[in-house]
Structure 1
Amino acid sequence: MAKKHRHEAHEEHTDESWLIPYADLLTLLLALFIVLYAASTTDVKKFQEMSQAFNIALTGGNGVLESYKSLDSQTPNSANRDNKTDSSEAQSDARSQDLTLQQLIQKEQENLEKLKKQLDQYIKKNGLTSQLQTKLNQSQLLITISDNALFSSGSAVVKPNSRSLAVSIANMLQQYPGYEIIVSGHTDNEPISTPEFKSNWDLSSTRAIRFMDIMLANKKLDPKLFSAVGYGEYRPVASNESAIGRSQNRRVEVSIIRKYTDPSRKQNVSAGISRP
């Protein structure tokens, strides 16, 4: 009788090796979403922490969920509080800077007003009202000197009795150091052509330089802050159609340029350039 072969029942085990790459995929997807969330915010610190969580996932370490939870604990409210704090500090710094600027502007205004007062007193004391004028505006303190107070017609040599004027102005400026000084020469539109001066450009610039030379004889003034320029006939303050207008256009100007300007005021003009 044939033997019956009994086949032992073998328990079949389910192959679960697929779980490993599946778990890795889920981990990477979680890390990806974390990074995308971090990139959508403006909080740099949060983004860095999200990046660390991503590195943990890539290196196969533990604690991805823990990192996510720690990041999630930084609620929008706390982030908003941080942003508000930073904004408040920035506004406080801006107010402090504005206050400092306003103080500097106020101090400079006081100094220039004092200097203008000294100049006006000198003009009145020496009977120069018709030959000198001062004007303080938002860009400069402007001293205007008629050419006949300084030079003979067609000449750039400062008259001997007028040299004291340049010396006096220099002595006053010495009391207020640090300002840029521009000395500019101007003529009327009558052409000039001499062996010494080929044009009004030559005459106006040479007059400005000669007047500046006398001022810089004061060694307490800084030459680096001085410059001389000639505008010829091209910056008139009056019409050249009359003798009076032409005499007003023939002048030397000394501009004391402000160091500080108020941004809220829009009346600034180009430094050292007089307007009609």
Structure 2
Amino acid sequence: MSKKHKHPHHEEHVDESWLIPYADLLTLLLALFIVLFAMSSVDAKKFEEMAQAFNSALNGGTGVLDQTSPIETGPDNDKKKNETEDKNEAASASAADKERKAQMEAEQKQLEDLKKKVDNYIKANGLTTQLDTKLNASQLMITISDNALFASGSATVKPDSRKLAVAIGTMLVSYPGYEIVVSGHTDNQPISTSEFKSNWDLSSARAIRFMDILLSNKKLDPKLFSAIGYGQYRPLDGISNTTAAGRAKNRRVEVSIIRKFIDPENLSQVPATPKE
């Protein structure tokens, strides 16, 4: 009887080669989380050293941490951030300054053009002794003698002078957006009538009546207009109310076209409030 040869039983082994890359992956993830955690306080130099150490140990010096830039923190980074912000602010301020300068130059040209038109009207109508214009750092002011506008002690604009007010209003239409202040001034001679109990009343009423004629032009915006009465308390600079000639000059109506853009460096050119 023949003997059967029994073949030895070979146990089958499960392929576990996948565990190696899996373990490497877990190690890399652990390293990455450690690095991310440390990035909140690590500086650039330490981060670079750590990256090189991890890459050298795990991948022979080349890996995911190569060429990685950390988020820098600390005083040096704050300084750089502040310097960048300062540069941005300076650039923005420079652009704003250039824009404002261009606007101021355009406004200067407009007011010079308006002054020229008024001066030409004054000359053409023989009003050089009754009207005057002055352009300074804050406004264009048109000064009109009260003799050209009102009878003594009255706030009713003379018929011939209404033409002047209408002409000024027509000129202002071409220069929209400016605030217009109409102010009335008297001398220091007291007044007390049934219509006006003081120079305050008279100067205010004269300013309002002249403004009314300006605003008869419906192309002008009433929101930009105001009327003020100063009585005798704002005499012209250097002009005293102690003489008849001085009092005549101080009785006036002023139409002020206020600048939109005032250069602080030129404010010294604005005359101080005149005193008696």
| TM-score normalised per structure 1 | 0.72
- Kindly provide the amino acid, as one letter, of the partner of residue 209 in structure 2: R
Q: Is the 8 A contact 2:136 2:270 kept in 1?
A: no
Question: 1:259, 1:77 → 2: CA distance?
Answer: 44
Secondary structure at the counterpart of residue 255 of structure 1: strand
Partner of 1:67: 38
Partner of 2:190: 191
Q: Is the 8 A contact 1:170 1:218 kept in 2?
A: yes
Secondary structure at the counterpart of residue 266 of structure 1: helix
Partner of 2:140: 141
Partner of 1:248: 249
Question: 2:253, 2:242 → 1: CA distance?
Answer: 20
Q: Which moved more, 1:230-239 or 1:260-269?
A: 260-269
Deviation for aligned residue 1:154:
0.6
Question: 2:84, 2:126 → 1: CA distance?
Answer: 63
Secondary structure at the counterpart of residue 267 of structure 1: helix
List runs of 5+ in structure 1 lacking aligned partners: 1-61
Partner of 1:119: 118
Q: Percent identity?
A: 61
- Kindly provide the amino acid, as one letter, of the partner of residue 226 in structure 2: S
Deviation for aligned residue 1:88:
1.2
Deviation for aligned residue 1:268:
6.6
Deviation for aligned residue 1:86:
1.9
Question: 1:119, 1:158 → 2: CA distance?
Answer: 19
Stretches of 4+ aligned residues off by more than 6 angstroms:
none
Q: Identify if the C-alpha distance between structure 1 residues 88 and 144 changes in structure 2 by more than 3 Å, giving closer, same or farther.
A: same
Deviation for aligned residue 1:70:
5.4
Secondary structure at the counterpart of residue 143 of structure 2: strand
Number of aligned positions between the proteins = 213
Question: 2:36, 2:202 → 1: CA distance?
Answer: 84
Q: Is the 8 A contact 2:207 2:227 kept in 1?
A: yes
CA deviations on 1:10-35 (whole Å, 9 max, x unpaired) are xxxxxxxxxxxxxxxxxxxxxxxxxx
Q: Identify if the C-alpha distance between structure 1 residues 126 and 228 changes in structure 2 by more than 3 Å, giving closer, same or farther.
A: same
Secondary structure at the counterpart of residue 218 of structure 1: coil
Deviation for aligned residue 1:64:
8.9
Q: Is the 8 A contact 2:135 2:141 kept in 1?
A: yes
Question: 1:234, 1:71 → 2: CA distance?
Answer: 72
* Alignment RMSD (CA, Å): 2.1
Q: Is the 8 A contact 2:143 2:254 kept in 1?
A: yes
Partner of 1:59: none
Deviation for aligned residue 1:90:
1.0
| TM-score normalised per structure 2 | 0.72
Q: Is the 8 A contact 1:184 1:228 kept in 2?
A: yes
CA deviations on 1:64-100 (whole Å, 9 max, x unpaired) are 9942575422265554433322221111000000000
Partner of 1:94: 93
Deviation for aligned residue 1:262:
1.2
Partner of 1:47: none
Q: Identify if the C-alpha distance between structure 1 residues 161 and 69 changes in structure 2 by more than 3 Å, giving closer, same or farther.
A: closer
Q: Is the 8 A contact 1:178 1:225 kept in 2?
A: yes
Q: Is the 8 A contact 1:102 1:262 kept in 2?
A: no
Q: Identify if the C-alpha distance between structure 1 residues 196 and 79 changes in structure 2 by more than 3 Å, giving closer, same or farther.
A: closer
Secondary structure at the counterpart of residue 209 of structure 2: helix
Match runs of 1:1-276 below 5 Å? 63=34, 66-67=37-38, 71-73=42-44, 74=72, 77-237=76-236, 238-267=239-268, 275=274
Q: Identify if the C-alpha distance between structure 1 residues 274 and 132 changes in structure 2 by more than 3 Å, giving closer, same or farther.
A: farther
